[in-house]
Structure 1
Amino acid sequence: MKSKQDFIRNFCIIAHIDHGKSTLADRFIQKTGVVSDRDFNAAGGKQILDSMDIERERGITIKSQAVAMQYTAKDGNTYTLNLVDTPGHVDFTYEVSRAIQSCEGALLLVDASQGVEAQTLSNLYLAMEHDLHIIPVINKIDLPSADIDRIKQEIEDDLGLDSDLAVAISAKNGIGIEDLLEALIEQIPAPKALSEKPLKANIFDSHYDPYRGVIIHVRVFEGRLTKGQNILLMNTQAQYKVETTGIFRIKLEENEALEAGEVGYILAGVKSIGDLRVGDTITDLDNPCDAPLPGFKEVKPVVFSSIYPLSSDQYDELTEAMEKLRLNDAALVYEKDSAAALGVGFRCGFLGLLHLEVTQERIEREFNLGILLTSPSVRYRLTDKKGHTWMLDNPAKYPEPSQLELCEEPMIKATIITPTEYVGSLMALCMKKRGIQEQMIYLDTKRVELIFQMPLAEVLFDFYDSLKSLSRGYASFDYQESGFAPTDVVKMDILLNGEVVDALSQLVFRGNARERGLQICERLKEEIPKHQFKIAIQAAIGGTVVARETVSALRKDVTAKCYGGDITRKKKLLERQKEGKKRLKMVGNVELPQSAFLAVLKSKGPQDS
Structure 2
Amino acid sequence: MPTRNDLRNVAIIAHVDHGKTTLVDALLRQAGALGRSKGEGTDNDSTQDRVMDSGELERERGITILAKNTAIHLHDDEGNPVIVNIVDTPGHADFGGEVERALSMVDGVCLLVDASEGPLPQTRFVLRKALAKGMPVILAVNKTDRQDARIEEVVDETYELFMELLEDAGLPAETLEFPIVYCNGRTGQASLNKPENGTVPDSPDLGPLVKTLLDTIPAPVYDAEEPLRAQVTNLDASPYLGRLALLRIHSGEMKNGQQVAWCKADGTIERVKITELLVTEGLDRTTAASAGPGDLVAVAGIPDIGIGDTLADPNDPRPLPAITVDEPSISITMGINTSPLSGKSGKKVTARLIKNRLDQELIGNVSVRMLPTERPDTWEMQGRGELALAILVEQLRREDFELTVGRPTVVTKEIDGKLHEPVERVTIDTPGEYVGTLTQALASRRGRLENLVHHDTGWARMEYICPSRGLIGFRTEFLTETRGTGVLNHTLEGYEPWLGDMRARPTGSLVADRSGVATTYSMFSLQERGQMMVEPGTEVYEGMIIGENSRPDDMDVNITKEKKLTNMRKATSEELERLVPPKILNLEQALEFCAEDECVEVTPGTVRIRKVELDQTVRGRTRNKKPKL
- Distance in structure 2 (CA, Å) of the matches to 1:260 and 1:110: 31
- Distance in structure 2 (CA, Å) of the matches to 1:29 and 1:14: 17
- Paired residue type of 1:42: T
Q: Pick from 208, 213, 219: which aligns with 2:237?
A: 208
Q: Aligned pair count?
A: 510
Asked if 1:183 is matched to 2:183, the reply is: no
- Paired residue type of 1:130: K
TM-score using structure 1 length: 0.67
- Paired residue type of 1:251: D
Instruction: Report the secondary structure of 1:355's partner residue.
Output: helix
Q: 1:335 to 1:126 in 2, by over 3 A?
A: closer
1:104-183 counterparts in 2 under 5 A? 104-159=107-162, 165-176=179-190, 177-183=206-212
Asked if 1:102 is matched to 2:102, the reply is: no
Instruction: Report the secondary structure of 2:533's partner residue.
Output: helix
Cα deviations across residues 299-318 of structure 1 (Å, max 9, x unaligned)? Answer: 79832233539652666545
Specify the alignment match of 1:575 in structure 2: none
Percent identity over the alignment is: 22
Q: 1:466 to 1:300 in 2, by over 3 A?
A: closer
Whether the aligned pair in 2 keeps the contact of 1:3 and 1:193 (CA below 8 Å) is yes
CA positional deviation for 1:458 = 4.8
- Distance in structure 1 (CA, Å) of the matches to 2:268 and 2:178: 48
Specify the alignment match of 1:251 in structure 2: 284
Q: 1:295 to 1:317 in 2, by over 3 A?
A: closer
- Paired residue type of 1:131: G
Whether the aligned pair in 1 keeps the contact of 2:428 and 2:487 (CA below 8 Å) is no
Asked if 1:603 is matched to 2:603, the reply is: no
CA positional deviation for 1:171 = 1.6
CA positional deviation for 1:474 = 6.2
Asked if 1:461 is matched to 2:473, the reply is: yes
1:119-518 counterparts in 2 under 5 A? 119-159=122-162, 165-176=179-190, 177-226=206-255, 227-235=258-266, 237=268, 239-243=270-274, 244-249=276-281, 250-271=283-304, 276=306, 278-289=307-318, 292=321, 295=324, 302-306=331-335, 308=337, 311-312=342-343, 316-317=347-348, 327=360, 330-331=364-365, 347=379, 349-351=381-383, 352-365=385-398, 367=399, 369=400, 371=402, 373-378=404-409, 411-416=421-426, 432-433=444-445, 454=467, 458-462=470-474, 466=478, 472-473=486-487, 475-478=489-492, 496=511
Q: 1:428 to 1:35 in 2, by over 3 A?
A: same
Cα deviations across residues 554-584 of structure 1 (Å, max 9, x unaligned)? Answer: 54686971469xxxxx9xxxxxxxxxxxxxx
CA positional deviation for 1:184 = 0.2
Specify the alignment match of 2:89 in structure 1: 86
Q: Pick from 515, 527, 535: which aligns with 2:534?
A: 527
Q: 1:473 to 1:235 in 2, by over 3 A?
A: farther
Q: For structure 1, which segment, 27-36 or 56-65, has the greater mean C-alpha deviation from structure 2 after superposition?
A: 27-36
Cα deviations across residues 199-236 of structure 1 (Å, max 9, x unaligned)? Answer: 44332211233432221111222333343222213455
CA positional deviation for 1:603 = 2.7
Cα deviations across residues 500-545 of structure 1 (Å, max 9, x unaligned)? Answer: 9xxxxxxxxxxxxxxxxxxxx966x433648999999899xxxxx9
- Paired residue type of 2:268: Q
Compare the two structures and name the one with the higher helix fraction: 1
Q: Pick from 79, 91, 105: which aligns with 1:76?
A: 79
Q: 1:38 to 1:117 in 2, by over 3 A?
A: same
Cα deviations across residues 47-68 of structure 1 (Å, max 9, x unaligned)? Answer: 1111112112212111111112
CA positional deviation for 1:5 = 1.2
Q: For structure 1, which segment, 458-467 or 20-29, has the greater mean C-alpha deviation from structure 2 after superposition?
A: 458-467
Specify the alignment match of 1:506 in structure 2: none
Cα deviations across residues 297-339 of structure 1 (Å, max 9, x unaligned)? Answer: 8879832233539652666545668856865663467799999
Q: 1:302 to 1:473 in 2, by over 3 A?
A: same
Whether the aligned pair in 2 keeps the contact of 1:205 and 1:216 (CA below 8 Å) is yes
CA positional deviation for 1:265 = 1.7
Instruction: Report the secondary structure of 1:292's partner residue.
Output: coil
Structure 1, unmatched stretches of 5+, are: 382-407, 501-520, 540-544, 565-569, 571-591
- Distance in structure 2 (CA, Å) of the matches to 1:371 and 1:291: 40
- Paired residue type of 2:233: F
Whether the aligned pair in 2 keeps the contact of 1:242 and 1:266 (CA below 8 Å) is no
Specify the alignment match of 1:585 in structure 2: none
Q: 1:536 to 1:210 in 2, by over 3 A?
A: closer
Asked if 1:65 is matched to 2:98, the reply is: no
Whether the aligned pair in 2 keeps the contact of 1:304 and 1:379 (CA below 8 Å) is no
- Distance in structure 2 (CA, Å) of the matches to 1:477 and 1:281: 31
- Distance in structure 2 (CA, Å) of the matches to 1:440 and 1:146: 24
Whether the aligned pair in 2 keeps the contact of 1:64 and 1:99 (CA below 8 Å) is yes
Cα deviations across residues 245-278 of structure 1 (Å, max 9, x unaligned)? Answer: 332222222223332222222224224xxx51x3
Instruction: Report the secondary structure of 1:51's partner residue.
Output: coil
Specify the alignment match of 1:397 in structure 2: none
Whether the aligned pair in 1 keeps the contact of 2:510 and 2:554 (CA below 8 Å) is no
Q: 1:208 to 1:220 in 2, by over 3 A?
A: same
Q: 1:597 to 1:297 in 2, by over 3 A?
A: closer
Instruction: Report the secondary structure of 1:102's partner residue.
Output: coil
CA positional deviation for 1:379 = 8.4
- Paired residue type of 2:53: D
Asked if 1:29 is matched to 2:28, the reply is: yes
Instruction: Report the secondary structure of 2:53's partner residue.
Output: coil
- Paired residue type of 2:179: L
Instruction: Report the secondary structure of 1:261's partner residue.
Output: coil
- Distance in structure 2 (CA, Å) of the matches to 1:298 and 1:304: 17
CA positional deviation for 1:113 = 4.0
Q: For structure 1, which segment, 147-156 or 213-222, has the greater mean C-alpha deviation from structure 2 after superposition?
A: 147-156
- Paired residue type of 1:461: G
Q: 1:463 to 1:215 in 2, by over 3 A?
A: same
CA-atom RMSD, angstroms? 5.2
Whether the aligned pair in 2 keeps the contact of 1:62 and 1:92 (CA below 8 Å) is yes
Structure 2, unmatched stretches of 5+, are: 164-174, 191-205, 413-417, 453-459, 516-528, 547-551, 574-581, 596-629
Q: For structure 1, which segment, 475-484 or 141-150, has the greater mean C-alpha deviation from structure 2 after superposition?
A: 475-484
TM-score using structure 2 length: 0.65
- Paired residue type of 1:111: D
